């Protein structure tokens, strides 16, 4: 009973073992899961770092205290550690300092259920345990043993019920050989466990984590395997090599969602293209959409449909469109590739339809049809974005009347007719996408997309800010870094805007009118001439975004002595 009384006062703390890949996506993924299922998460510690107030006094002081949640978000995003300590709160999503009304939840039955939801939904979560080790961690086993000895209540409840147990020792960045594993586990003799050992089906698993210096190997990603020999191998920790820190807990659940990374691996897919997104990133994006049973998710640049399958996997209905129908169909005679791949994953039923059209000339009858828009726009590195119409000032002028061919047939009704298209500049595309999303989404619906950017020129204001769309971002944001450029995952949520009479504002469809084509001409906007942003001409951007003329800069190899204004087009 003693341990029960204690758990009524203090909220259970949880130890999350996370995958090493894409650390800047960790918090967004946890946040989205918590938003979807309606619980709150407070981040407490990672690696050597902890938030003030979370610290537990132990025999020797240890770790670095951080003053704000934002600093901790940065530390988690850096990915130096694979371990994260959290507790659950009321509210929705990951706790922010600005929304400090969330209270810890002490009902362990409830919080265990939430922890299990995280393991079922978050692909970066490898396991979740009840935390035994101190916050932020222990620098070595002596420290951990000293901390645990006076705290028998941590494991006494399992002893009382004579739960059959096992130990599981995980080396991070190093493999731990069997003799060393046994030796380490024997070190826990002070726990005086009298219940039976059961290695096959333990009722309680004591989880140990030893974290070593970073290894550059990305052992988790099946699509990053270039050797063709399967998983890369970790080095074994030899005598004299000591871990940086150790953690311990009792297992709640192993990550169930992580196996989806293998299920959706592009190399095993029946149909894909040279721009298909790797499965792990697709799944992370799908998580951001809050895809779920009975929702409707749409990709306006669907390509080969990579993002549709993963959203459908969470039970959503999905639709895709692309200006280039050949991308969705593929060359195989046995039917369109998108449907074959959907069949392979058992989600054909969920793919409502795939259509060929240019989203700037779209046939949607009305707005507020969609729960989410997910897309990886073609930003022009491997395949540039196109829109219908002819380029202004080009060799041929756009025609406004149909043309009858000498044989009496309208040219556009000839089989194989492909209408003229022109480049779709990234800045236009991104702005249009956000305005389009505000029109098409239901309130609370999300737009999730990749924004490529020249790393040196990135600025948070590059994401279009319009009334009614709110960005969801943690730390420095979520980014996948390449050498001189990166792509940022942007998540925007449509918020209800109510006027003075309490009437919900309805938004107009976007006009898709291009921004001034010459970015060098863009003027710095006068702050006090802040007219209605809808009425303001769009060339009044305050700054040239980091993704302007992305393709030109990419092809030019990103000159590092880039002028403050990017080169003009043509």
Partner 1 sequence: MVRLITHNMLTCHVKNCTKDNYPLVFQDAAVEIRPAEPNLGFIERFLPKLEWSALVSTAKALGNDSLPDEMPEDKEELRSEEFLTKLHHVLMETHVEEGAMVCQGCGHVYQISSGIPNMLLAEHEVGR
- Interface residues with partner 1 (CB under 8 A) are 293-296, 317, 319, 321, 323, 325, 328-329, 335-336, 339, 349, 352-358, 361-366, 368-369, 388-390, 398-403, 412-413, 417, 419-420
CA distances (Å), 266 to each of 301, 305, 312, in order?
A: 18, 11, 16
Q: Say if residues 44 and 30 touch (Cβ distance below 8 Å).
A: no
CB of 411 to partner 1, least distance (A): 8
Q: How far is the CB of 342 from partner 1 (least distance, A)?
A: 11
In degrees, rounded to 5, the angle at the alpha carbon of residue 538 between the alpha carbons of residues 400 and 365 is 55
Would you say 364 or 558 has its CB closer to partner 1? 364
Please, what is the minimum distance in Å from the beta carbon of residue 399 to partner 1? 5
Nearer to partner 1, 409 or 555 (CB): 409
Rounded Cα gap, residues 119 and 128, in angstroms: 7
Smallest distance, partner 1 to C-beta of residue 229, A = 39
Q: How far is the CB of 36 from partner 1 (least distance, A)?
A: 16
Interacting residues of 110 by C-beta distance below 8 A, sequence separation 6+: 88
537: which 2 tokens?
A: 């001409």
Q: How far is the CB of 296 from partner 1 (least distance, A)?
A: 8
Q: Which of 288, 453, 303 is nearest to 378 (CA)?
A: 303
Pick between residue 484 and residue 539 the one whose CB is nearest to partner 1: 539
Least distance in angstroms from the C-beta of 415 to partner 1: 9
CB nearer to partner 1: give 182 or 361: 361
The residue among 85 and 373 lying less far from partner 1, judged by its C-beta, is 373
Residue 210 burial (C-beta neighbours within 10 Å; 0-12, 13-18, 19+) = buried
Determine contact, residues 341/309, Cβ cutoff 8 Å.
yes
Candidates 377, 505, 362, 353; CA nearest to 436 is 362
What count of residues does the chain have?
570
- Cβ proximity to partner 1: between 229 and 365 the closer is 365
CB nearer partner 1, residue 139 or residue 336: 336
**Shortest Cβ 457–partner 1 spacing (Å):** 30
User: Is the Cβ of residue 525 or residue 539 nearer to partner 1 in the bound state?
Assistant: 539
Residues 519/563, Cβ–Cβ less than 8 Å: no
Nearest 5 degrees, angle CA 15-CA 448-CA 87?
20
CB 64 within 8 A of CB 49: yes
d(Cα 125, Cα 131) in Å, to the nearest integer?
15
> Per the structure block, which two tokens stand in for 340?
């074959």
């Amino acid at each position: 009973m003693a341990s029960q009384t204690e758990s009524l006062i203090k909220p259970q703390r949880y130890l999350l073992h996370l995958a090493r890949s894409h650390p800047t996506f960790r918090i967004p993924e946890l946040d989205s899961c918590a938003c979807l299922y309606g619980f709150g998460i407070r981040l407490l510690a990672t690696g050597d770092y902890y938030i003030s107030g979370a610290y537990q006094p132990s025999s020797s002081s240890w770790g670095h205290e951080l003053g704000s949640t934002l600093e901790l978000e940065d530390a988690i995003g850096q990915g130096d550690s694979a371990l994260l300590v959290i507790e659950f709160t009321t509210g929705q999503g990951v706790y922010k300092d600005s929304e400090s009304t969330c209270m810890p939840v002490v009902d362990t039955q409830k919080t265990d259920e939430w922890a299990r939801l995280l393991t079922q939904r978050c692909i970066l979560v490898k396991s979740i345990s009840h935390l035994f080790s101190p916050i932020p961690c222990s620098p070595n086993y002596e420290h951990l043993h000293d901390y645990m000895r006076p705290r028998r209540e941590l494991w006494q409840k399992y002893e009382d019920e004579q739960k059959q147990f096992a130990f599981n020792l995980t080396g991070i960045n190093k493999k731990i050989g069997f003799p060393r594993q046994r030796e380490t586990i024997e070190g826990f003799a002070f726990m005086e466990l009298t219940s039976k050992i059961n290695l096959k089906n333990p009722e309680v698993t004591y989880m140990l984590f030893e974290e070593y210096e970073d290894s550059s190997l990305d052992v988790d990603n099946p699509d990053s395997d270039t050797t063709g020999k399967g998983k890369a191998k970790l080095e074994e920790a030899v005598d004299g090599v000591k871990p940086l820190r150790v953690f311990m807990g009792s297992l709640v659940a192993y990550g169930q969602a992580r196996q989806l990374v293998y299920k959706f691996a592009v190399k095993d897919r029946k149909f894909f293209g040279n721009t298909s997104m790797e499965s792990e990133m697709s799944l992370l994006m799908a998580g951001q959409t809050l895809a779920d049973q009975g929702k409707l998710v749409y990709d306006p640049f669907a390509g080969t449909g990579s993002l549709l399958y993963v959203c459908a996997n969470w039970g959503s209905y999905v639709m895709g469109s692309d200006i280039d129908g050949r991308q969705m169909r593929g060359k195989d005679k046995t039917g369109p590739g998108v449907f074959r791949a959907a069949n392979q994953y058992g989600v054909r039923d969920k793919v409502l339809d795939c259509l060929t059209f240019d989203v700037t000339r779209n046939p949607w009858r009305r707005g507020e049809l969609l729960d989410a828009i997910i897309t990886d726009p073609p930003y022009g590195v491997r395949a540039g974005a196109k829109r219908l119409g002819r380029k202004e000032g080009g060799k041929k002028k756009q025609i406004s009347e149909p043309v009858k061919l000498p044989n009496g047939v309208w040219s556009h009704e000839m089989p194989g007719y492909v209408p003229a298209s022109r480049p779709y500049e990234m800045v236009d595309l991104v702005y249009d996408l956000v305005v389009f999303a505000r029109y098409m989404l239901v309130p609370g619906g999300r737009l999730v997309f990749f924004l490529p950017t020249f790393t040196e020129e990135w600025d948070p204001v590059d994401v279009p800010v319009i009334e009614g769309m709110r960005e969801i971002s943690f730390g420095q944001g979520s980014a996948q870094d390449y050498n001189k450029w990166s792509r940022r995952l942007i998540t925007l949520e449509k918020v209800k805007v109510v006027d003075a009479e309490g009437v919900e504002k309805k938004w107009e469809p976007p006009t898709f009118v291009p921004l001034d084509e010459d970015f060098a001409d863009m003027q710095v906007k006068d702050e006090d001439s802040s007219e209605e942003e809808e009425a303001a001409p769009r060339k009044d951007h305050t700054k040239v975004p980091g993704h302007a003329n992305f393709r030109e800069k990419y092809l030019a190899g990103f000159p590092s002595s880039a002028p403050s204004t990017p080169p003009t087009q043509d």
